Structure 1
Amino acid sequence: MEKILVTTDQSANSKAAIRFSIKLARQRKAELIILHVYHLLKPFNWSEKQFEEYGDTFRKKTVTELTSFIGDIYDGIHEREINHQLIMVSNTDVAEGIMDYANKHNCSYICISTRGAGTITKVFGTHTAKLIGSSAVPVLCIPSAYHLKELKHILYASDMTNYEDELKKVVEFARPIHASVEMMHISYPDEFAYDKELTEATLQKKTDYKVSLLNRKRNTTNALLEDIDDAIKVSKPSLLVLFTHQSRPMFEKLFFPSNAEEYSFYGKIPLLTFSKKVEGR
């Protein structure tokens, strides 16, 4: 069975991802895992026994609080509860704790809320940006202000590199929820233009799923993300899919964040990111 992992810190901002993941898990008939990553510091004058007792008390209290927190979310969306696991893991790094659990337990998707970040936080990273930049498991980023809607239309932004393999992953996500798929390519003025009808027929044959093509011309006076935003206004998708490079040197990651990482800071619709395959690997 497919597993969807959603992370929460019990903040109001994290509710959007939990609401989204509950609905998605129901649609996909997937197992839902709600994960809370924590870290306790041991006071230097405490004995091991004292610290162990404190840890047990903390975990019991937190489980009670999380159970109430999640119950309130169900009440707010007027949905009956689905089977889910409530998991707590200890890790000094929240993103590492999430990725470690997702990898060890074969999770299909990681779902996390994002509320944007200022310039300083962008440079040093957020949990969301770290997941996008490092996770082998696809990441669903849900804006904290997002209002729950049906996932009806998925827009996949493609650079036309390895698009056949990438599109299969997009269709794999779309098929169980019966969402339409549109592949968008933003081309430069001197770039080859794809024939819409011929390309759509080829894509349907290769994926066994109807895929429409959205050709857009690159506006070189804009940042690429502005062109993506313009395309979103035309397509009106329920969710945007991006494939992100995770193999760049750290200097480039710090000063030239990927489009997926950048978009997660201010996007108004859910974002699904996959790790982009590196040629030769």
Structure 2
Amino acid sequence: MKKILIPTDFSACAKAAENYGLVLAKKTNAELVYLHIIITPVNWSKLTNDQENLFPETKKLIGKAKKELSNLVMEAEKSGVKASKILVYNYGNERIHTFIETEKIDMVVMGSHGSYGFKEHMLGTNTYSVLRRSEIPVVVVKEENEKREVQNLIFATNFKEETGASFGVIEKLAEELGAKLHVLFVNTPTYFMETNDIEAIGKSFMDEFGNYNYDINIIDAFKEERGILQFADKLKADGIAVITFGKSDLMQYFSPSITENLISMTDLPVISIRKTKK
């Protein structure tokens, strides 16, 4: 991992992502890129100094944002982490996804509010959009998160062959973080399977896609989210990783909505990885 993007609005919610992203960067020797987007009434980059004075409130916000970004970079560098900053003047349709591509970002760390409720409000519009569209891992961190180290990471899976490439991404990430990966299958009434069958497909999946031997943990629950959270509580886990399928998967196990529900129901950091195209 070379670059971690942290979109921030300098709120308490974003601060949680900033702190967690700094820990991840230290662990993986990655560079941090702090991104802040300011909504401006006009195309600010084309204004002269005199024209900027016509918008005193916007000019004040920009000055404050520049100072906040500089402080974040300074704090990261004091911790031995290389860091840079991007300030974007958005007067129309700029999106975080643009910078994921142009900056060659390997992971995004974003903050989320704590309450359970309407998903787009809870996650925040930017987090919601990035979570659903990003082709790279997205880590969502709550304001209430108390975890700073990732020692025990749960990987919740359905052992579908098409998720094998994505599992490789999670396994590599766990290696970089020095985390122990706990493989979990949640057996629900909707997709119920007998234990022997789960163990068989799990072993076949790991033989083909895994680099290490993993115990296969099975938990019965009415819903995938409930099973994951019950296991996380029992394990005292530090984070949860899931592969998010697109809406087109008829037999989907982790739809975007399930991933979002999981994020809203736990204070643990959640790593979402879209199903990787082969």
State the TM bucket, normalised to the shorter chain.
Answer: 0.7 to 0.9
Note closer, same or farther for the CA distance 1:150–1:67 as it changes in structure 2 (3 Å cut): same
Note closer, same or farther for the CA distance 1:240–1:93 as it changes in structure 2 (3 Å cut): farther
Moved more, 127-136 or 29-38: 127-136
Across the aligned residues of Structure 1 and Structure 2, the Cα RMSD in angstroms comes to 3.4
The alignment's TM-score, normalised by the length of structure 2, stands at 0.79
Deviations 1:137-194 (CA, angstroms, capped at 9, x unpaired): 2110011111242111111111222343232111111111221111111124641434
Aligned to 2:252: none
* One-letter amino acid of the structure 2 residue matched with residue 145 of structure 1: E
Aligned to 1:100: 98
Deviations 1:230-281 (CA, angstroms, capped at 9, x unpaired): 12122322110111133459xxxxxx95211122223211000011247xx7
**Correspondence list, 1:179-198, <5 A:** 179-188=179-188, 190-193=192-195, 194=197
**Aligned: 1:169 with 2:169:** yes
SS in 2 for 1:211: coil
* One-letter amino acid of the structure 1 residue matched with residue 90 of structure 2: N
User: Is contact 2:155-2:183 (8 Å) kept?
Assistant: yes
Note closer, same or farther for the CA distance 1:51–1:150 as it changes in structure 2 (3 Å cut): same
Runs (5+) with no aligned partner, structure 2: 250-254
Runs (5+) with no aligned partner, structure 1: 250-255
What is the CA-CA distance between 1:195 and the residue it aligns to? Answer: 6.7
The alignment's TM-score, normalised by the length of structure 1, stands at 0.78
User: Is contact 1:245-1:258 (8 Å) kept?
Assistant: no
Note closer, same or farther for the CA distance 1:82–1:41 as it changes in structure 2 (3 Å cut): same
**Correspondence list, 1:114-263, <5 A:** 114-117=112-115, 119-120=117-118, 122=120, 126=124, 127-161=126-160, 162-188=162-188, 190-193=192-195, 194=197, 199=202, 203=206, 206-217=209-220, 219-220=221-222, 223-248=223-248, 258-263=257-262
Matched-pair identity in %: 18
User: Is contact 1:3-1:108 (8 Å) kept?
Assistant: yes
* One-letter amino acid of the structure 2 residue matched with residue 191 of structure 1: M
What is the CA-CA distance between 1:57 and the residue it aligns to? Answer: 6.7
**Alpha-carbon distance between aligned partners in 2 of 1:216 and 1:120, rounded to the nearest angstrom:** 28
**Aligned: 1:14 with 2:14:** yes
Deviations 1:197-222 (CA, angstroms, capped at 9, x unpaired): 995697267432343311112x33xx
Aligned to 1:110: 108
SS in 2 for 1:262: helix
User: Is contact 1:33-1:85 (8 Å) kept?
Assistant: yes
**Alpha-carbon distance between aligned partners in 2 of 1:3 and 1:206, rounded to the nearest angstrom:** 25
Moved more, 177-186 or 256-265: 256-265
How many residues align? The count is: 262
User: Is contact 1:114-1:128 (8 Å) kept?
Assistant: yes
* One-letter amino acid of the structure 2 residue matched with residue 177 of structure 1: L
**Aligned: 1:90 with 2:89:** yes
Aligned to 1:65: 68
* One-letter amino acid of the structure 2 residue matched with residue 180 of structure 1: K
**Alpha-carbon distance between aligned partners in 2 of 1:178 and 1:125, rounded to the nearest angstrom:** 28
What is the CA-CA distance between 1:14 and the residue it aligns to? Answer: 1.1
Note closer, same or farther for the CA distance 1:39–1:268 as it changes in structure 2 (3 Å cut): same
**Alpha-carbon distance between aligned partners in 2 of 1:148 and 1:215, rounded to the nearest angstrom:** 25
Deviations 1:115-136 (CA, angstroms, capped at 9, x unpaired): 1356445479722222111112
